[in-house]
Structure 1
Amino acid sequence: MVSVKLQANSSQPVNLQGVMNFRDLGGIKTKDGRSIKKNILFRAADLTDMTTSDKAFIQKISMQTIFDYRTADEATKRPDPHLERVNYIRVSVNQETGKPAYNSLEEFMQSDTFDSFANDLLMELYKSIPVGNPSYHHLMSLLKDPERNLPLVQHCAGGRDRTGVGSMLILLTLDVEWQVIVEDFLFSNVLLDKYHSQIFEKLNGMVSEERAEKFKEQFLLQERYIDMSYQNIMQNYNSFEVFLEQEYGITAEDRKKIQDYCLK
Structure 2
Amino acid sequence: MESDALMERVLPLEGVYNFRDMGGIKTKDGRKVKKGLLFRSAELTGMTNEDKKNLKPLNLKLIYDYRDKAEAIVKPDPQIGNERHERIAVNGEDKSTAKDEWDPATFYKTFTRDKFAQVYREMPIQNGSYKRLMHLFKKPEENLPVLHHCAGGRDRTGVGAMLLLRTLGVTFETIMEDYLLSNKTLVAYHQETFAEAAQYVSGAQLKNFEEGFLLHEQYLDASISSIFGNYGKFGKYLEREFGVTRSDRERIKDFCLE
Query: Structure 2 length normalisation: TM-score?
Result: 0.92
Alignment correspondent of 2:250 = 256
Alignment correspondent of 1:62 = 59
Residues 1:142 and 1:11: Cα distance change in structure 2 (over 3 Å): farther
Q: For 2:27, which of 27, 30, 35 is the aligned residue?
A: 30
Task: Determine the C-alpha separation between the residues in 2 that align with 1:80 and 1:205.
Answer: 28
- Note if 1:232 corresponds to 2:241: no
Report if aligned partners of 1:10, 1:180 keep a CA contact under 8 Å in 2.
no
Between the two proteins, the alignment pairs up a number of residues equal to 255
Shift of 1:95: 1.9
Shift of 1:54: 1.6
Task: Determine the C-alpha separation between the residues in 2 that align with 1:32 and 1:196.
Answer: 36
Task: Determine the C-alpha separation between the residues in 2 that align with 1:145 and 1:231.
Answer: 27
Residues 1:96 and 1:205: Cα distance change in structure 2 (over 3 Å): closer
Shift of 1:213: 1.1
What do you get for the CA RMSD once the two structures are aligned?
Answer: 2.2
Q: For 2:184, which of 187, 190, 215 is the aligned residue?
A: 190
Encode CA deviations 1:65-116: one digit per residue, 9 max, x unaligned. 00000000000000001244101000000121279x999x9x72xx222122
Matches for 1:1-264 after TM superposition, within 5 Å: 6-8=3-5, 12-97=9-94, 108=104, 111-118=105-112, 120-204=114-198, 207-264=201-258
Report if aligned partners of 1:10, 1:183 keep a CA contact under 8 Å in 2.
no
Report if aligned partners of 1:11, 1:25 keep a CA contact under 8 Å in 2.
no
Report if aligned partners of 1:45, 1:155 keep a CA contact under 8 Å in 2.
yes
Encode CA deviations 1:24-80: one digit per residue, 9 max, x unaligned. 011000011110111110000011111112212332121000000000000000000
Task: Determine the C-alpha separation between the residues in 1 that align with 2:188 and 2:80.
Answer: 28
Q: Which runs of 5+ in 1 are unaligned?
A: none
Report if aligned partners of 2:108, 2:200 keep a CA contact under 8 Å in 1.
no
> Percent sequence identity over matched residues?
44
Secondary structure in 2 aligned to 1:256?
A: helix
Task: Determine the C-alpha separation between the residues in 1 that align with 2:118 and 2:74.
Answer: 26
Query: Structure 1 length normalisation: TM-score?
Result: 0.90
Name segments (4+ residues, structure 1) moved above 6 Å: none
Residues 1:66 and 1:205: Cα distance change in structure 2 (over 3 Å): closer
Report if aligned partners of 1:41, 1:151 keep a CA contact under 8 Å in 2.
yes
Amino acid at match of 1:54: D
Report if aligned partners of 1:20, 1:192 keep a CA contact under 8 Å in 2.
yes
Report if aligned partners of 1:93, 1:129 keep a CA contact under 8 Å in 2.
yes
Residues 1:53 and 1:10: Cα distance change in structure 2 (over 3 Å): closer
Shift of 1:202: 4.8
Shift of 1:122: 1.2
Shift of 1:214: 1.4
Secondary structure in 2 aligned to 1:165?
A: helix
Q: Which runs of 5+ in 2 are unaligned?
A: none
Report if aligned partners of 2:108, 2:197 keep a CA contact under 8 Å in 1.
no
Amino acid at match of 1:193: V
Task: Determine the C-alpha separation between the residues in 2 that align with 1:240 and 1:52.
Answer: 41
Task: Determine the C-alpha separation between the residues in 2 that align with 1:188 and 1:9.
Answer: 10
Residues 1:206 and 1:230: Cα distance change in structure 2 (over 3 Å): closer
Report if aligned partners of 1:43, 1:159 keep a CA contact under 8 Å in 2.
yes
